[in-house]
Amino acid sequence: MRDFSRRGVLGLGLGAAAAAGVAGCGGSGGPDPGSHGPGNATKPGAGSPPQARPIGDGSTADTGPQPHQPDRPVPLQPGETPPQFVVFSWDGAGEVGNGLFPRFLKLAKDHGAAMTFFLSGLYLLPEAKRSLYRPPNNPVGASDIGYLKDENVRNTLTYVRQAWLDGHEVGTHFNGHFCGGSGSVGKWTPEDWRSEIEQAVSFVTNWRTNTGFTDLEPLPFDYGKELIGARTPCLLGQEALLPTARALGWRYDASSAGGLQAWPVKRDGIWDLPLQSLPFPGHSFEVLSMDYNILANQSKNSTRGVPSNYPGWRSQATATYLGGFRRAYETNRAPLFIGNHFEDWNGGIYMDAVEEALKGMADKKDVRLVSFRQFIDWLDVQDPAVLAKLRTLGPGQAPIGGWAAHLGTV
């Protein structure tokens, strides 16, 4: 089957110490020609898309169907082995001058992968215009992650544009990233979330007016149509977010913490795609599938631990991602969700770990490195009875008698 100068830390998804023991928050030999990912499509994805229709002030434009998308998904056939889906996602998704955004765009292209970039709206708003941001239950212009320099706003626009043209998804990480105090996103109401979302969309769709940049091309998508999912700051506030997300027509939310490596379910009509607890080498507990949560168990929330520990921590982080992958790939084929930030914590070891893990997954048979949008497109065409049967398999539980027996008589 063919499946289709930084002030504060970028978009910390702390995970709120939710998972047990967490201190903080294709065919073999190469990607299958029919698999997901920008490296496997035939549509052009670089340069200016033809027939662009400007939207609003020209910050965005409708350029038609997104390039580099997989074939239309089809239902699993009786007894067919499910693909192994892996979603690499990025919280904040701003280019702060460390070269990480283009680094991972290239890595994805080299390995036929699609990813999800949860863009923080403030990363397209110059600090001189901070008074335009009115965060719920916080002072005007406040932000726990700060604002980017103008040159980094420009670079972020460039790479977000490239990301979409390369076939990746652009979601949202909202704006000010408030995780503590009375203004925490964990205390927001559905109305607060609606205000925050409307502002995030406004910053993306009015960057030309807000920045005064006239020499950059528009973002090549209608954000009102592109935006179908999110991850909240620090994985807080999902309960109050969901009613607003549903009213806006969103299709998924990736804000849950401590999920298991099992096939997902819907909450309030929206796919719930949580970060997952993965085996943590050298420990009896599991760790959440995000760079920060691995760090929190290695350097105790410090992003600058003892350098002599970096090689061992790098190997441990890589082994965590690959161990979680193998557990699913060899058993229940549950999707693997990995969350990251464009950061250089502990000497950049977590970026190296993500890269090595992706390389270790990309060439395996049946593996699909996809965006959240592409994954739920696949889910939505499956027989509900098949999905229910997949959900009977817990983490590390292989189907008795193999897939032909498990799914052959659904």
In tens, the pLDDT along 79-127 reads 999 999 999 999 999 999 999 999 999 999 999 999 999 999 999 999 9
Q: What is the pLDDT along the chain (410 residues), one digit of tens a residue?
A: 333 322 223 333 333 333 333 323 333 233 333 344 443 433 334 455 557 899 999 999 999 999 999 999 999 999 999 999 999 999 999 999 999 999 999 999 999 999 999 999 999 999 999 999 999 999 999 999 989 999 999 999 999 999 999 999 999 999 999 999 999 999 999 999 999 999 999 999 999 999 999 999 999 999 999 999 999 999 999 999 999 999 999 999 999 988 999 999 999 999 999 999 999 999 999 999 999 999 999 999 799 999 999 999 999 999 999 999 999 999 999 999 999 999 999 999 999 999 999 999 999 999 999 999 999 999 999 999 999 999 999 999 999 999 999 999 86
Residue 214, CA distances (Å) to 54, 57, 62, 201, 207 in order? 14, 11, 18, 20, 10
Instruction: State whether residue 256 is helix, strand or coil.
Output: coil
Give the C-alpha separation, 209 to 213, whole Å: 8
Q: How large a percentage of the chain has pLDDT more than 90?
A: 86
Check if the beta carbon of residue 273 is closer than 8 Å to that of residue 293: no
CA distances from 196 to 12, 116, 375 (A): 17, 20, 26
- Torsion, Cα of 170, 171, 176, 181 (10° steps): -150
Compute the half-sphere exposure of residue 139: CA atoms within 13 Å on the CB side of its CA.
5
Is residue 270 a contact partner of residue 286, using CB atoms and an 8 Å limit?
Answer: no
- The answer for residues whose C-beta is within 8 angstroms of residue 86's C-beta and 6 or more apart is 325, 335, 336, 338, 361, 367, 368, 369, 370
Q: Is 287 helix (H, G, I), strand (E, B) or coil?
A: strand
Sketch the domain layout of the chain as residue ranges. 15-28+67-407
Measured CA to CA, the distance from residue 176 to residue 196 in angstroms comes to: 9
CATH number given to 15-28+67-407: 3.20.20.370
In degrees, to the nearest 5, what angle opens at C-alpha 176 toward C-alphas 271 and 144? 125
Decide: pTM greater than 0.85: yes
